[in-house]
Amino acid sequence: MAGQADNRAPYAKIAAHYTELISSGQLEPGTLLPSIKNLAEEWKVSTATAEKALRKLRNEGLVRGIHGIGTEVLDQPGPMSSGSQRQDRGRRTGSSWGAGERSDSHQAAVVPAPPEVAQALDLKPGSDVIRRSRVYRDRHGIVAHSTSWIPARYGKMIPQLAESERLTGGTSLQLIAKATGHPISHRVDTASANLLTPEYARLLELDPKNPPTEPVVVMTAKFVDSEGNVVEFGVDLGGPGRTWRTESEVSP
């Protein structure tokens, strides 16, 4: 975590280390992870902590245990992230990328707000909005096509929001909060499974004449600042085969 102390439990640090190596392709499918004993020695933790780290990786579907052999790296597409998860990641690290991800196809334009976007942003239909889109990819292909809809007034304060380049100096939410002095106070998330439409197929770079038959995950996130202003509405369209996963601590 850039510029911040890492206060995660030791087992979580170990699991995060191997999650990054697996997701980035540095550990290929079929690779065996170190044994519990070797992990404990390398990280200077107890064998119970090392075992808990491997259990976390198994629960996340990244590895599997093979009796008498060890822990093997699995090959499968990583899950997509929601808008709120990307916001959290951007706040911690300065980047919305997940482990092993990159983004490209950054495009931006000022356009009339579609009805559902105008409603989400609390604007009159047809009002000018900034549409920013990008594609997140990893070694398996497209993770998600992501679109951010932002009221045009913020483009006057932050001109780069309307430029077809990857943002510098932070995420769009961080830049808006810095320019206005109003931090993001809350957000509203939705998730649904939708049939693949021709438009979705185009955005995901699929053949619209022969699209996959399984549904795709569509997630939205509405971000509101401390003054009650809706500053951004995000729509993330998951690539075929991508799932969405979240994790939280459960108190006993």
Calpha distance 66→64 (Å, rounded): 6
Q: What predicted TM-score, i.e. pTM, was given to this entire model?
A: 0.72
Determine the pLDDT at residue 188.
94
Q: What is the DSSP string of 113-124?
A: PPHHHHHHHT--
pLDDT tens track, the chain, 252 positions: 344 557 889 999 999 999 888 877 789 889 999 999 999 999 999 999 999 999 999 988 889 999 999 999 987 777 788 877 887 887 777 777 877 788 999 999 999 999 999 999 999 999 999 999 999 998 778 999 999 999 999 999 999 999 999 999 889 999 999 999 999 999 999 999 998 888 999 999 998 778 788 889 999 999 999 999 999 999 999 998 888 877 666 666
Determine the pLDDT at residue 23.
75
Comparing CA positions, the residue from 231, 137, 234 lying closest to residue 182 is: 231
- The answer to whether the CB of 130 falls within 8 A of the CB of 106 is no
Calpha distance 25→7 (Å, rounded): 26
Contacts of 193 (CB under 8 A, 6+ apart): 215, 216, 217, 218
Comparing CA positions, the residue from 115, 89, 80, 108 lying closest to residue 243 is: 80
Determine the pLDDT at residue 1.
36
Do the strands 216-225 and 184-194 form a parallel or antiparallel pair, or are they unpaired?
Answer: antiparallel
Determine the pLDDT at residue 211.
76
